[in-house]
Amino acid sequence: MTIGFAVFAWLFVATGSVLRTHYGWSRRRVMDAVSVATGVPLLAVGALIWSVGLERSLTVWNDQMALLPWGLHRILGIVTYLGIPPQLPIWLTVAGAILVLFGVVVPLSFKRFSRA
């Protein structure tokens, strides 16, 4: 699990490195592109789970993958059984929105102030 998370986190570093070395992008432009590329899927998944409902989303996912014993997640509720905070979809949506805003709005404001 630790190695998988480390490899996933390294993906963002590798993407930034490729954009910087092969395409000649500045550090600010690389950070903006990587934050938008990270924030958009996070925002979309958070909004989808929030609109459908966390309990229903995890129940459907468990039905497909059979992670928990059959029926146990339906009796106890998967969110309660695993101790997942019910506010998780809101946190994901807010984190994705912050990353997208950081990647889109901040560069636009720098461009506007640098022209003046």
The mean pLDDT of 77-97, rounded to a whole number, is 89
Tell me the per-residue pLDDT of 25-64, one tens digit each, with 9 for 90 and over: 888 889 999 999 999 999 999 999 999 998 888 888 877 7
> Does 116 score more than 60 pLDDT?
no
- Phi/psi at 69 (nearest 5 deg)? -55, 145
Name the residue among 52, 32, 44 with its Cα closest to residue 97: 44
Q: Two tokens at 104?
A: 């889109």
For the chain, give the percent of residues with pLDDT over 90. Answer: 48
| Per-residue confidence (pLDDT) for residue 97, from 0 to 100 | 96
Half-sphere exposure of 103 (CA within 13 A, CB side): 17
> How much is the pLDDT for 42?
94
73: pLDDT confidence band, cut at 50, 70 and 90? low
Domain ranges of the chain: 26-115
